[in-house]
Amino acid sequence: MRTVDWSEDGPAVVLLDQRALPQATEYLHLTTVDGVVDAIRTLAVRGAPNLGVAGAFGAALAAHLHAGDPTTARAETDRIAHARPTAVPLALGARRAIARLGEGPAAVLAEARAVLADGARVNAAATSRAADLLEAGGPGRPLRLLTLCNTGDLACGDGGSALGAALRLHERGTLAEVLACETRPLLQGARLTVWELARAGAPHRLCVDSAGPAALATGLVDAVVVGADRIAANGDVANKIGTYMLACAAARSGVPFLVVAPEETIDPVTPTGADIVVEERGADEVTGFGGITTTVPGTPVFNPAFDVTPFGLVTAIVTEERAWSPDVTTSRAAAPSRR
């Protein structure tokens, strides 16, 4: 399923509007940089790797709209790169594409298409490595996984990351169940992960976020699989709010906790989790849902979009290149580095 694309009818970025799912499948045709920035901020397009693709096509749009004015094209691309602060790929994708501005708008678009294609290759390698590890570390029967947020095609482009690994197991006949946390406040798990699992015919159940630790404590889960938005150089993982709670509970219950993400998510210039900028989002996401206010009007709100899980609670960070554990590094001996 293509969630971010370029319109052949004119300079426009086409997005599958994830805010409307699962009730409706609607596409946005964005012809302005303001439109791209707004779509990113309001989560019409979301998920760290897919934000990289959106950033790259957004750069192509800026290059086409401001052909002959490279200063403005670069400044507009910078606005896209900074539309959300936590996910690494957004700025990487935008900067990679706009780096070819000197060759003209068509070259920027070609690079955006390359970002999209590279993502599919990365996802295929990371998800099959994660599926192999899950099977090898499992109990020798089909696996019961717990996940949070949405890390499938919608979030990552073709192949997904953590949810992609679960779907690889499903294809192999070694998936018993995915327990999907609903992921308050915006329900990416309930709306998007469940939609993708149902489309794939993969066995699943939905639970409230606070049921995750209880499922772990009572032996309902063989492994936790999550994605990542930014991984510090020391291995601390920023991911959707609620991840840390699951990591603590998994450690307490002795259940493996896998992070599946592209290598580019590992940020060598962010030394530790304490250095990661965690996006804080609007109060309205917490004070109500679907237009209905669910608390006392005017209640002050704490709404971080992400939390940081210390590397020590992670069994392995699985990328297209390696599985990186607090005490073991396989497949590649070097410390994280930007390619």
Task: Enumerate the active-site residues.
Answer: 229
Distances from the Cα of 173 to the Cαs of 133, 151, 325, in angstroms? 15, 20, 27
Checking 29-32 for CB contacts under 8 A at 24+ apart, the result is 30/61, 31/61, 32/61, 32/65
Nearer to ligand MRU, 49 or 213 (CB): 49
Binding of residue 46 to ligand MRU (CB under 6 A): yes
Q: How many CB atoms lie within 10 A of CB 61?
A: 29
Residues 257-316 within binding reach of ligand MRU (CB under 6 A):
305
Binding of residue 161 to ligand MRU (CB under 6 A): yes
Residues in CB range of 18: below 8 A, 6 or more apart: 3, 43, 44, 45, 46, 154, 192
Nearer to ligand MRU, 11 or 160 (CB): 160
In the DSSP assignment, the letter for residue 189 is: I
Considering only the stretches 64-72, 148-156, 173-181, 205-213, report the one whose residues sit in contact with ligand MRU under the rule CB under 6 A.
148-156
Q: Out of 13, 30, 39, 43, name the contact with ligand MRU by CB under 6 A.
A: 43
Retrieve residue 284's tokens: 């309205």
Q: Out of 30, 98, 149, 313, name the contact with ligand MRU by CB under 6 A.
A: 149
User: Please, where are the H alpha helices in 23-104?
Assistant: 33-41, 48-65, 70-81, 88-98
Spatial distance between the Cα atoms of 12 and 264, rounded to a whole number of angstroms: 26
Binding of residue 92 to ligand MRU (CB under 6 A): no
Binding of residue 232 to ligand MRU (CB under 6 A): no
Spatial distance between the Cα atoms of 103 and 73, rounded to a whole number of angstroms: 13
Q: Out of 77, 123, 239, 270, name the contact with ligand MRU by CB under 6 A.
A: 239
Binding of residue 229 to ligand MRU (CB under 6 A): yes
Binding of residue 193 to ligand MRU (CB under 6 A): no
Retrieve residue 80's tokens: 């896209």
Considering only the stretches 21-29, 90-98, 132-140, 222-230, report the one whose residues sit in contact with ligand MRU under the rule CB under 6 A.
222-230
Residues of this chain that bind ligand MRU (CB under 6 A): 43, 46-49, 149-151, 155-156, 161, 188, 226-229, 239-240, 305
